[in-house]
Structure 1
Amino acid sequence: GSIGGSESNDEGSIGGSESNDEGSIGGSESNDKGSIGGSESNDEGSIGVTLDSQETIMGDHILVATGRVPNVEHMGLDAIGVQIDGDTGGIRVDRHLKTSVKGVFAAGDCTGDRQFTHYAGYQGSIAARNVLLPLDDPGVLPDVPSTTFTQPEVASFGMTEAAAVEEHGEKKVSVSFRPLSQIDRAVCEGTDQHGFVKIVHHAKSKQILGATVVAPAAGEMIAELAVAKDAGRSFGKLATVMHSYPSYSIALQQMAAEVYYDGLKKNKFLYDLLKAIGL
């Protein structure tokens, strides 16, 4: 499918789109997978996009983010027996970045795994170490933090709430949520209108399963949660890790404290006592 009447060639590039005198983008066609139906602009310069569902969404720009496909053709890989993953289109590797041919390793975007600069760099160093040294370190990781550097930033890692519920069951999954309007730093800087911190954790063990942060410092905040998960530290334990005030990340300590005290409700006497004395 294309946007605004543009045509794609055999190489997957987007051809020339047509605009009218007002700078609008013309109608487009959808494929079997469904696509954006068409768009137009009004006198104020905003763009309206009509979806296949006939819903119209207004905005200032259209961002085409269709992803990338590994470029592994015409390299002679099939001649030496290197297998290509049919689902991702990338070179098939095991968790140590070994291909189907002994002595041949692959790392980064060409494997069809998650396409992030930091992940590709990590895999490249692991592959080099495994090739040159008697090591067998893992290069394919289950959780890779990602950040979209918009304003505010959008960062995430691990499972979403829906994925966690599907794998563990609804009763075994808990969610901690705090909007930026409840984070003092955001209020002070006037960035509290849009954003939140959402942490998905196991209801009983409090082990972190995943997180999403929409905030000016989301990229930094998500790293702390990723470290805690990798170290096997439960979310409630972050309540005892001192954070500076008024940083954005102190919200993680405050949210963890809520989870910690929620666990104390099983001991009603202790919980009521701590609450009575303000602790």
Structure 2
Amino acid sequence: MIRIRIRISMGMSALVCLGVLASPAHAFRPTDREMGTLPPFCAARFDSSTSPAFRTWRQSMGQDFMHIHHYCAGLNFLNRAYARSPGKDRDGTLAAAVRNFDYVLEHTRTDFSLRPEVLMQRGLAQSLANKPGEAIGNLNQALTMNPRLPRAYLALADMLVKQKNAARALEVITQGLRFNPDVRSLQRRYTELGGALPYPQAEAGPVPVETSAPDAAPTQAAPVAATPANEPPVPAQEAVPVVSEPKIGIPGNPYCRFCPD
């Protein structure tokens, strides 16, 4: 009887390791309720490959659509992490988010249209995981490729506020408003940081949505300089203190993907 119990226990452990009996918080596939908070292409990708939605999105996104479910899973893990208190469980959820974002970055083309957003979401996950060096690197990469990512400016500004550098934080938000002049969350942060009205004028000329290489963009958001920290910096970036999430979005998730500005 003891041997049978041991074998059953070992078998259950193996199934958990394989993800067959993973807890809901660590399940790869989003629940129906979670799917409703994700971009519409997520439901299509998790659907049958013969469904009309799957075929439509694959035609729209191209070959990189086949990997997009990892981006969706990463977003969902990040959403779950926002709803959890600090601890091992949240750390594991954030690690799962980063792994899925990494998969997308490694398996899609460098000119993939969602690459800047993947980098930004990875940066947000790393900031929540208290890995500010990687967070600042990812956010700067994202803004270099696409300066029209308001949440990236907000996260960078909060890093600077955390290290008591409100003046530099205001500069970051000012720069964000020049590329995103009508975003209310940036306008609110600008006012909170003491910015004078009227709001900064928009950048003249078109701004590329994304580029295949950082130096290919004629108009780019300047990287945020950071003060050194104990964490080893990522290449070409210095580490900064951990991000303090801004008060936007919905309760438990200040960076909600589809929240109004």
> What's the TM-score, normalizing by structure 1?
0.24
Q: Which structure features the higher share of strand residues?
A: 1
Q: Radius of gyration: which is bigger?
A: 1
Greater RCO structure (CA 8 Å; 6+ sep) = 2
Q: Which structure features the higher share of helix residues?
A: 2
